[in-house]
């Protein structure tokens, strides 16, 4: 694609970002009056919020790397029964809505959790509750990236090192680690972004003491109307996450390489040590990624008939309908935005970085800014759908960007040589090649829209309540019946997320799920 074609393609997503993201954020900053970038550092309370947000994101990265890399090495080097299922199931935590993940963690290690019932500890009120929730969401990113990266290691170099007497540990340090380090850095950038700027998990699991900066921005805007302080915090979030997003985009572009023909072949475990490694890796995945989901199912099954009756209430049926139609419309809009952005960003690092704006700008700040900037659109159906699409379309754009990076250039060149116009090349060559990546991106966008929570708190009218807001309402009411009803509704939300997972499976992808960096041959 020639450079002159970049900006016409980029006009649609850039105008959308300017209208729905940048302008509302600036409007909120202006409303707050004179901002001081150093004000949060001079206030001990806000300084703690910033420090804790950075600390919990960094700690999650360290734990995800320490747990995920050994698991990925086992999955990349050993062939065993159920390996393909495990690789597919790694996508499940990423498509589960945030509120469902929070409910799962509470159902497992909360005050009335399964672990507490069995005599274990209660993590409520400790920082580890949020750390565990972060690991549930993000461990799969590191495992997928490392598994993919280990598949890129040259078998001939590994064999040569072993022939010269190198131990397996020395081979890993000298050959495998240098090859996979960029992939891991790419994944860890995403983990940091999701943890530092996350809202739903921190709101439910962090509590008053361990709330992150995003929750503090929400409190300052929604409850205290301290717009100046909220704006100063939002600027710090924007700067820190913007630097990380730029680093991720640069690393992602570098990783668009062809697959190796001499990749290390997997073997079946033979010794007791190898089998112990396999079972230990599976145990880590079950305890971190599977246990919260199983705890939700366990709690829902133990709930009384009064809790299950919530599924037949008019409010639940209306919320289900709202979630489905908002998701369908948001995915349709996100697909167009993501396709245009990915095609335009193929040759531009700046445009590739801008796709992360919906992740790095506080959704609370955007939602409140939308209300201030467009008061005539307050609680409008179109504004809500556009806000959903804004948060969902980066998944489509990122998936397509990886596929475009690894698409053979000679295909389009051959079509042009045979007389095809650029439009025919796109419809007959480019789009069919991108179809698997497009379907994956749409499925992840659908899962994001189903579980969207932050902007819904601001922009939704009572009659437009979704399943996520209904779960949050039940959590805010006293009594065990309401808590059980929230668990049952979380099961329903989880079922919708698994439906998105089924869409991904039907796309006919390989057993290795999409990594957070570009795929070597099929797109991200």
Return the bridge partners of 267, or none.
78
pLDDT attached to residue 70: 93
Nearest to residue 75, comparing CAs of 154, 147, 177? 147
**Longest CA span, the chain:** 73
CATH 1.10.3720.10 fits 3-505, yes or no: yes
Whether residue 43 has pLDDT greater than 80 = no
Question: 184-226 pLDDT, tens per residue?
Answer: 888 888 888 888 877 778 888 887 788 888 888 878 877 777 7
**Within 18-113, where are the H helices?**
23-31, 39-42, 44-77, 83-89, 92-95, 98-109
Q: How many CB atoms lie within 10 A of CB 503?
A: 17
Task: Check if the beta carbon of residue 154 is closer than 8 Å to that of residue 262.
Answer: yes
Q: What are the angstrom distances between the C-alpha of 300 and each of 28, 132, 471?
A: 41, 21, 13
Q: Give yes or no for a contact between 90 and 289, defined as CB atoms under 8 angstroms apart.
A: yes
Q: Which two tokens stand for residue 224?
A: 């205290």
Lowest pLDDT segment from 157-161, 334-338, 407-411: 407-411
Sign of the alpha-carbon dihedral angle for 162, 165, 168, 171:
negative
Confidence at residue 279, expressed as pLDDT on a 0 to 100 scale: 94
Rounded to a whole number, what is the distance in angstroms from the first to the last CA of the chain? 20
Average pLDDT, the chain: 79
Q: Which residue has the higher pLDDT, 421 or 94?
A: 94
Tokens (6 digits) for 51:
């420090």
Q: Higher model confidence: residue 430 or residue 267? A: 267
**Confidence band (pLDDT; 50, 70, 90) for 413?**
low
The stretch 109-120 carries a mean pLDDT of: 78
Does residue 517 have a pLDDT over 60?
no
pLDDT tier at 32, thresholds 50, 70, 90: low
Q: Which parts of 227-375 fold into alpha helices (H)?
A: 227-254, 272-285, 291-302, 305-308, 314-344, 349-354, 357-360, 363-373
Asked if residue 257 has pLDDT above 60, the reply is no
Percentage with pLDDT > 70 across the chain = 84
**Average confidence (pLDDT) over 150-163:** 81
Q: Is the pTM of the predicted complex or chain greater than 0.75?
A: yes
The distance of Cα 302 from the centroid of its chain, to the nearest Å, equals: 30
> Hey, what are 517's tokens?
């960096």
Q: What is the DSSP string of 475-518?
A: HTS-SHHHHHHHHHHHHHHHHHHHHHHHHHHTTT--SSPPPSS-
The C-alpha atoms of residue 248 and residue 141 are separated, in whole angstroms, by: 14
| Helix axis angle, 467-475 to 98-109, nearest 10° | 30
> How do the domains of the chain map onto residue ranges?
3-505
User: Given a cut of 70, is residue 514 above it in pLDDT?
Assistant: no
Instruction: Name the DSSP letter for residue 376.
Output: G
């Amino acid at each position: 694609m020639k450079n002159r074609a970049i900006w016409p393609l980029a006009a649609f997503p850039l105008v959308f970002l300017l209208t729905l993201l940048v302008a509302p954020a600036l409007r909120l900053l202006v409303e707050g009056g004179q901002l001081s970038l150093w004000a949060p550092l001079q206030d001990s309370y806000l300084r703690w919020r910033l420090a804790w947000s950075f600390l919990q994101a960094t700690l999650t990265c360290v734990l995800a790397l320490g747990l995920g890399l050994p698991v990925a090495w086992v999955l990349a080097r050993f062939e065993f029964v159920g390996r393909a299922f495990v690789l597919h199931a790694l996508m499940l935590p990423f498509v589960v809505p945030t509120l469902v993940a929070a409910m799962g963690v509470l159902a497992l290690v909360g005050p009335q959790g399964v672990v507490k019932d069995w005599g274990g500890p209660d993590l409520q009120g400790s920082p580890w509750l949020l750390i565990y929730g972060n690991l549930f969401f993000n461990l799969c990113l590191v495992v997928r990236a490392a598994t993919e990266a280990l598949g890129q290691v040259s078998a001939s170099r590994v064999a040569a090192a072993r022939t010269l007497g190198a131990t397996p540990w020395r081979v890993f340090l000298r050959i495998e680690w240098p090859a996979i380090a960029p992939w891991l850095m790419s994944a860890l950038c995403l983990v940091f972004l999701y943890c530092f700027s996350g809202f739903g998990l921190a709101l439910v699991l962090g509590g008053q003491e361990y709330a992150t900066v995003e929750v503090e921005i929400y409190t300052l805007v929604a409850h205290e109307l301290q717009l100046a302080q909220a704006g100063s915090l939002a600027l710090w979030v924007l700067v820190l996450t913007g630097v990380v997003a730029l680093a991720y985009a640069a690393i992602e572009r570098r990783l668009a390489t062809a697959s190796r023909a001499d990749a290390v072949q997997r073997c079946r475990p033979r010794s007791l040590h190898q089998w112990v490694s396999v079972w230990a890796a599976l145990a880590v995945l079950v305890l971190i990624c599977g246990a919260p989901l199983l705890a939700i199912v366990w709690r829902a099954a133990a709930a009384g008939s009064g809790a299950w009756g919530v599924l037949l209430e008019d409010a639940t049926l209306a919320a289900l309908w709202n979630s489905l139609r908002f998701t369908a419309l948001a995915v349709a809009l996100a697909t167009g935005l993501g396709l245009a952005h990915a095609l335009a960003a193929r040759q531009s690092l700046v445009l590739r970085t801008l796709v992360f704006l919906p992740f790095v700008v506080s959704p609370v700040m955007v939602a409140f800014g939308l209300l201030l900037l467009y008061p005539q659109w307050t609680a409008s159906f179109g504004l809500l759908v556009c806000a959903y699409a804004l948060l969902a379309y980066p998944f489509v754009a990122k998936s397509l960007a990886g596929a475009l990076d690894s698409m053979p250039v000679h295909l389009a060149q051959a079509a042009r040589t045979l007389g095809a116009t650029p439009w025919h090349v796109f419809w007959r060559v480019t789009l069919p090649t991108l179809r698997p990546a497009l379907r994956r991106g749409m499925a992840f966008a659908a899962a994001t829209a189903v579980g969207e929570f932050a902007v819904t708190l601001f922009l939704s009218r009572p009659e437009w309540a979704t399943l996520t807001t209904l779960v949050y309402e039940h959590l805010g009411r006293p009594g065990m019946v309401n808590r059980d009803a929230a668990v049952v509704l979380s099961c329903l939300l989880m079922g919708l997320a698994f439906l998105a997972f089924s869409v991904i499976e039907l796309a006919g992808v390989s057993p290795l799920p999409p990594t957070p960096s570009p795929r070597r041959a099929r797109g991200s």
